Amino acid sequence: MSNYLRPDLRTLRQRREKAEDWINYASWTAMGTAALTAVIILAIVADEPGALRNAVPLLSTLFGQAAVGYKLRERSQWAAWGLMATYAVGFALSALAYGVLTGFIGKVAIGYVYVRGWLATLDYPELCKEIAALSAQSAESEPQK
């Protein structure tokens, strides 16, 4: 029975590690894209001061996205939900200000990373509980030397 539990424990640990990776990817992607997009928007505003009216709402969502991305590193489910909300709002504001197809492929790729990170934050606590339970169970079943 002990040999049967070890692959499950290893598999769970690998799934937890993948979840940690996706959470980190989403976190760094949120912070990086927020900073890069803010710099691009500020460059546009510097060139065309009239564009400031459209840029202010977008810059506020980018700031929120960067803050939530930073908090996501703590594997916070609230941060993951916040990231998805700021992404949706940013996507909608960007579509209204610059058109739906502007940067569509990039938005979809970033959205994919965010969704995977969000799903990983939902899965992570359960994986930790299962690993702890299996570790305790396998420690009890092994004979002491």
The residue to which tokens 């489910």 are assigned? 77
The residue to which tokens 């990983």 are assigned? 120
Q: Please name which of 19, 14, 121 lies closest in space to residue 72, comparing C-alpha atoms.
A: 121
This prediction's pTM: 0.80
pLDDT for position 113: 94
pLDDT for position 1: 47
Asked if residues 134 and 1 have their Cβ atoms less than 8 Å apart, the reply is: no
Q: Please name which of 123, 91, 114 lies closest in space to residue 30, comparing C-alpha atoms.
A: 114
pLDDT for position 93: 81
Low-confidence ranges of the chain (pLDDT < 50): 1, 5, 7
Dist. CA 21–CA 110, nearest whole Å: 15
Asked if residues 66 and 115 have their Cβ atoms less than 8 Å apart, the reply is: no
pLDDT for position 145: 55
C-alpha radius of gyration, the chain, whole number: 21
pLDDT for position 5: 44
Dist. CA 42–CA 86, nearest whole Å: 19
pLDDT for position 122: 92
**Which residues fall within 8 angstroms of residue 125, CB to CB, at 6 or more apart?**
75, 77
